Amino acid sequence: MIDGADNAWLMMSSALVLLMTLPALGFFYAGLVQAKNVLSVFAQSVAMAGLASLIWFAVGYSLAFSGTAPWIGSLHDIFLSGLTRGAVHPGTHVAESAFIMFQMTFAIITPALIIGAYVERIRFAAVLMFSALWLVIVYVPVVHWVWGGGWLARHGVLDFAGGIVVHVTAGVSALVVALALGPRRGFPQHVQPPHAPWMVMAGAAMLWVGWFGFNAGSALASGSDAAMAMLATHLAAATATLVWITIEWIKFGKPSLIGAVTGTVAGLATITPASGYVGPAGAVVLGLCGGAVCYGAVLLVKRVFRIDDSLDVLGVHGVGGALGTLLLPLAAVIGAGGLPSALHGGVGPQTAIQLLAVVVVAIWSAAASYGIVKLTNVVVGLRVSRDDELQGLDFASHGESAYHGGSNA
């Protein structure tokens, strides 16, 4: 039977996760770009919410969660044709409709994360085509492998809220898109600084709050597992924030606001796969590791490899999600409150399973995204013209301007 408290918590969590895309991710990304590209970021976020929702309704949910095949689900529930009003999701006390809605918000935010890799230089039509194909070809199969009873689930992989499903897929795919598009004009020496750090902070604050729905909501109940996941999520985010502040303070003498909230997101990404399996001490350890490792990853991608992953999707989300996935078994046995009984065979064997999942999903995401990018380029083209890039995508792509009478720098 449906439990009212569990059902209400999942519905609330769905709203919180949608908040993470609209408006949180929109503000976070829009503040980091030039003023002439602000509205293009919001337009991409809004379009993603609409596009992903209808794909999830039509085929996404069915292919992810129907059937028992190891690689992909069935078409049994296309267009949600088998859904009844009183249906309960198997193994839970929540309505099937609430579970569908919750997972739909995950399908919205995952391709929306990739927006950060291609801001300021991509055609809007390319955003829509790439994202639609990516959801069906990359995201949906991985959901089935990990959460839908597919082959990785049968191997015992643990991913509480999406370190593999969301962050590894988005981070690796973002790298592929960034490489295919090429860098923004002036990268790396003459890239303009973020036009509105206050907007980045506002977006990050909403992400921090929304992430409680992301992680604690994944318990699919309102009990102690959700409460511990929320506590772990908050502690990891807080720790990674201070790690990033400390690194910048030592290195530059002044900690930046943007650096601080980037650390917050790195901590949130790192704790995501482990949030339901660790206690407070394990969460702090993951926050420490996530803040330090993601900081190094961002520098490596941009300054060593000189890849214009514009808003650090790989370095923060991809690396953070993979790191949390790999450290999950160890973090689960640190201190009180963890769930070591969830590990299959102990820390070593579970780590091997986690590594297998990260490697396979990364390879699949890269290979499939490469093919999707190539097809998208042939059909609609990837990159805007030089003149449109100089003018800014707000006006060139959408005929609007975020700031009338102000600077477009």
Residue 98: phi and psi, rounded to 5, are -65, -40
Task: Determine the pLDDT at residue 405.
Answer: 64
CATH superfamily for 4-398 is Ammonium transporter AmtB like domains (1.10.3430.10)
Token pair in block for residue 173: 């795919």
CA 356, CA 351: separation in Å to the nearest integer?
9
**What is the value of pTM for the model shown?**
0.97
Q: Which residues contact 345 (CB under 8 A, 6 or more apart)?
A: none
CA 292 – CA 271 distance, rounded (Å): 14
145 forms beta bridges with none
pLDDT digits (tens, 9 = 90+) for 61-70: 999 999 999 9
Domain residue ranges of the chain, discontinuous segments joined by +? 4-398
What pLDDT, on the 0 to 100 scale, is given for residue 408? Answer: 54
Indicate the pLDDT class of residue 17, thresholds 50, 70 and 90: very high
Amino acid at position 52, single letter: A
Least Cα distance to 135 among 213, 50, 253 occurs for 50
Alpha-carbon gap, residue 255 to 227, rounded angstroms: 32
How many residues would you count in the chain? 409
Distance (Å, whole) CA 115 – CA 87? 35
- What single-letter amino acid sits at 250? I
What percent of the chain has pLDDT above 90? 97
d(CA 203, CA 161): 21
Average pLDDT, the chain: 97
Angle, CA 321 vertex, CA 318 and CA 322 arms, to 5°? 85
**CA-based Rg of the chain, rounded to a whole angstrom?**
20
- 3-state class of 277 per DSSP? coil
Sign (positive or negative) of CA dihedral 117, 118, 119, 121: positive
Q: For residue range 348-405, list pLDDT tens digits in order.
A: 999 999 999 999 999 999 999 999 999 999 999 999 999 999 999 999 999 999 998 6
| Contact assessment for residue 357 and residue 152, using Cβ atoms and an 8 Å cutoff | yes
Q: What is the pLDDT of residues 107-140, one digit of tens each?
A: 999 999 999 999 999 999 999 999 999 999 999 9
Query: What Cα–Cα distance (Å) separates residue 67 from each residue in 59, 61, 72, 75?
Result: 13, 11, 8, 8
Cα dihedral sign, 297-301-302-303: positive
Return the pLDDT at 404.
Answer: 82
Q: What local confidence, expressed as pLDDT, does residue 75 receive? A: 96
DSSP for residue 123: -
The whole-angstrom separation of Cα 128 and Cα 383 is 13
Q: What is the pLDDT of residue 190?
A: 86
Q: What is the amino acid identity at position 1? A: M
Question: End-to-end distance of the chain based on CA atoms, in angstroms?
Answer: 57
The 10s digit of each residue's pLDDT in 290-303 is 999 999 999 999 99
Q: How many Cα neighbours within 13 Å face the side chain of 254?
A: 3
Confidence check: pLDDT of 406 > 60? no
Mean pLDDT of 256-273: 98
Give the H or E element holding residue 19.
helix 4-19
Q: What is the mean pLDDT of residues 250-260?
A: 97
- Euclidean distance between CA atoms 230 and 233, whole angstroms: 5
**What pLDDT is stored for residue 191 in this prediction?**
87
Q: What is the C-alpha separation between 211 and 105, in angstroms, rounded?
A: 12
Give 76-98 pLDDT, tens digit per residue: 999 999 999 999 999 999 999 99
Give the pair of three-digit tokens for residue 241.
């924030």
